Amino acid sequence: MEPIEVVVLSGKGGAGKTSVAASIAALLKDKVVSADCDVDAGNLHLLLHPVASKTIDFVSGAVAVVNQNSCTGCGKCIEHCAFDSITMSDDKKAFVHEVLCEGCRFCATVCPEKCITMETHHAGHLFVGSNGPMPVVWADLKGGEDNSGKLVAVVKKEARKEAQRTEREIVIIDGPPGIGCPVTSSLSGAGVVLMVMESTVSGYHDVLRIYDLLLHFKLPGILLINKSDLNNEITEQAKLWAAENGVPVVAEIPYSSLMRDAVMQGVPPVEMGGDIGEKFREVSEFIIEWIKTNR
């Protein structure tokens, strides 16, 4: 059976998305594969502490490289690069800035000395590992890279492979922030989306924007209201909206300093126990039931 993907999204950062994803993963570690699709600033691994067993180079496109020994400093490449990716050093040698190069090859074509070659572009790394019995997949995109949507797709593919290898039916995905290309990529093949809303005006608007995306992709959504006592009026408004749109509200979690303490200690908040632990247990049970009923 194909694994079902539960994607955790929140729009902006700081709503508690990763804390929620890590807590559910920790509670269901005998049943799930965990994947971090926040490839630009992933921190799920900082809470789950997986041990990497495999590191894969993430290559994407090509990048121009100048042979400095043959470069005469004529400047033709700079003149023709539409992306302003090349600069001239003080000693008259052209230098390509890797993160700016779009790999169009034009410079290599115009260089009279034929001293520009196109080489594989290493944009980051993908890691496959485990936390105890639970497979974990995460990635690290180099700073300044703009192909995070593609890396998200690769992370999801590896997570599905791990689910099939270990015969697990659920993949918990810590999704990217925002609603752009990486989020769209994280939704491809998703089974259900857990929307984590911070109870603020902007948090509520973020959920509405995510829900528009879900409607577009015909995906079901579940709502978790985090820091629900920050703005009781917004919490009530979100619950009303959820009821009108048939979106189940899985939990309301009031603000707790334990959530912040957990992040500072590098553990999933569920491990702090108490009411927080109980809330996350309810969320995990709800997700398992939802999958049984709806898949």
Q: List contacts with ligand SF4 (CB under 6 A).
A: 64, 66, 71-77, 81, 83, 85-86, 94, 96, 101-107, 111, 113, 115-116
Count of C-beta atoms within a 10 Å radius of residue 251: 18
Distance CA 202, CA 186 (A): 22
- Minimum CB separation of residue 121 from ligand SF4 in Å reads 10
For residue 92, give both structure tokens: 């008259």
Smallest distance from the beta carbon of 120 to ligand SF4, in angstroms? 13
Q: At what angle do helices 17-27 and 274-294 cross, to 10 degrees?
A: 80
Q: Which is nearer to ligand SF4, 65 or 179 (CB)?
A: 65
**Which CB atom, from 114 or from 165, has the smaller least distance to ligand SF4?**
114
Q: Measured from the CB atom, is 115 or 247 closer to ligand SF4?
A: 115
Distance CA 294, CA 21 (A): 20
Secondary structure of residue 190 in the 3-state scheme: coil
14 or 75: whose CB is closer to ligand SF4?
A: 75
In the bound state with ligand SF4, the residue whose beta carbon lies nearer, of 107 and 154, is 107
For the CB of residue 289, give the shortest distance to ligand SF4 in the complex, in Å: 52
Separation between Cα atoms, residue 127 and residue 56, nearest integer Å: 6
Q: What DSSP assignment string belongs to 26-89?
A: HHTTTTEEEEE--TTS--HHHHH-PEEEEEEEEEEEEEEEE-TTT-----HHHHH-TT--EEE-
Q: How far is the CB of 83 from ligand SF4 (least distance, A)?
A: 4
Shortest reach from residue 146's CB to ligand SF4, in Å: 13
Secondary element (H or E) of residue 197: strand 192-198
